[in-house]
Amino acid sequence: MDMLSYIRTVFICALLYAGVSPAVESGVDQKRTVMDELDTVYPSSVREFQKKLALKGDKVAQYTLGNIYHFGTGVAVDIEQARSWYSMAAELKHEDSINQLTFIEIKQTGFKEALHAAWYDKLLSQVNPTTETTLIINEVASIRKRAGRSN
């Protein structure tokens, strides 16, 4: 992959992760969405390769597939598929997968103090949280605020 393609891929993935779906110009008067564009940037062969690794027990590939289905990267969003892949990685102690599973649960059922407080406090105590962790912290804080709880 050349540098321009790499930068383009990172940019499109960042937009998708942020929930932005702008139109992308492609050819004469033909508009495509970022999701359509991903078919060329993140082809199904890459997903198939990740799947082969994941089925052999690679927790990073399992997590990657969880993200692909969770955020709809080149595929339709499928939370159950995401949960399945995250669960496989979580069984192998993949921390980001555990966080995503907990986050999905909170989004679906709400923040339960007795169940989620220790997990949330652990996220808050991280010295250098990843961008993903920061996004989860902010979203959970918003969910808690809507439910009348403070951070």
- The DSSP call for residue 57 is T
Separation of alpha carbons 72 and 78, rounded Å:
7
- 124 within domain boundaries: no
Domain that holds residue 13: 1-42
- 148 within domain boundaries: no
- 37 within domain boundaries: yes
Helices (H), the chain: 3-17, 34-41, 44-55, 59-71, 79-91, 95-109, 113-124, 131-146
- 3 within domain boundaries: yes
Separation of alpha carbons 86 and 104, rounded Å:
10
Separation of alpha carbons 53 and 94, rounded Å:
15
Instruction: Domain count for the chain, please give it.
Output: 1
- 119 within domain boundaries: no
**Encoding tokens for residue 139?**
């979203």
pLDDT band at 13 (very low <50, low <70, confident <90, very high): low
- 35 within domain boundaries: yes
Residue type, 135: L
Contact between residue 55 and residue 48 where contact means Cβ atoms under 8 Å apart: no
Residue type, 130: T
pTM: predicted TM-score of the whole model, two decimal places: 0.69
Give the DSSP per-residue string, 69-82: HHHTSSS---HHHH
Over residues 56-105, the pLDDT tens digits come to 999 999 999 999 999 988 889 999 999 999 999 999 999 999 999 999 99
Average pLDDT, the chain: 80
Contact between residue 63 and residue 53 where contact means Cβ atoms under 8 Å apart: no
- 31 within domain boundaries: yes
- 109 within domain boundaries: no
